[in-house]
Amino acid sequence: MIADFLQFEFLRNTLYTGLLIGLIAPLLGCFVVVRRLSLIADALSHVTLAGIAFGLLLEKKMATPLLSPFYAGLGFSVLASLLIEKLRNMFRNFEEIAIPIILSGGVGLSVIFISLANGFTTDLFSYLFGSVSAVSSEDLRVILVISVIVLLVIGILYKQLLVLSFDEEHARVSGLHARVIHFIFMLLTALVIAASIRIVGVLLVSAMMTIPVAAAIRLARGFKQTIVLSILFGETSVIAGLFSGYYFEIPPGGTIVVVSILILLFSFLAQKIMLATKRNRAFEKGVS
């Protein structure tokens, strides 16, 4: 099974890309979930879809492609993150309204570009739900660069992001450059979402940033442990999803998300068992 993925270059690209996504998506997702910004992933993913549809439209209309759909989606995602920040500053008392505005805009643009391109194509379908065979060597290199950037920035700004995530008001009062750090955080989120679309797909990418974190929260005893478990669950979901998607010949995005949900259900069961065990031990100590 593993030998097949190592034998062919396109499968190796998919496997390596999946491992990188399984690392950076849950890692950044921990901060996204703690800050209660999970819907931002949905908003940026829909804008990314608009960028991809725009890139595919250009490919269809032009004899020579001017912009790869992947890069178009990446550009749209980064631009959307900037617009969200702009809107949050404009509606300071209603900052959350920026997310549905951008999400709706992304959906609207997607519909327009897809219609102009005369509907869905095989390429667009692979971007929507992920593909085992769509990851090129160039995609892998870009995603590797994005992964390095994400790891470096989180490593450097870990304490600042932690303070900003758990107590934003204290972060502002203490002199922390909250706006700058949040701006960087939004850019990282946009990059991770754009990087994840090849494997998980645009419509399911937000699940990769939230479901492993949700499972980890049920079992972890601290934020660092949440990060470790989230990455572990994310990597497990990606590996199991890629292999099952390849052998059952279905888009990997769906299988990755299903595996993530199964892990989440397991975390509920494990938590109940842990609580029941603690109660039994406490009862036995009381009796003795």
pTM of the complete model: 0.86
What does pLDDT average to in each consecutive run of 10 residues of the chain (288 residues)? 67 86 93 86 88 84 69 90 84 78 90 80 73 78 92 92 78 73 88 84 84 93 93 93 82 87 93 80 65
Question: How high is the pLDDT of residue 93?
Answer: 73
Q: Which residues contact 255 (CB under 8 A, 6 or more apart)?
A: 240, 241, 242, 244, 245, 248
Amino acid residing at 212: P
Question: How high is the pLDDT of residue 100?
Answer: 87
Question: How high is the pLDDT of residue 261?
Answer: 94
State both tokens at 254: 């769906």
Question: How high is the pLDDT of residue 226?
Answer: 94
Q: Are 90 and 101 a contacting pair, CB within 8 Å?
A: no
Q: Are 156 and 149 a contacting pair, CB within 8 Å?
A: no
Q: Are 151 and 273 a contacting pair, CB within 8 Å?
A: no
Question: How high is the pLDDT of residue 267?
Answer: 92
Name the one residue in this structure whose structure tokens are 């892998």. Answer: 140
**Residue-wise over 267-285: b if at least 16 C-beta within 10 A, else e?**
beeeeeeeeeeeeeeeeee
Taken in order of first residue, the domains within the chain and their CATH numbers are 2-287 (1.10.3470.10)
Question: How high is the pLDDT of residue 64?
Answer: 55
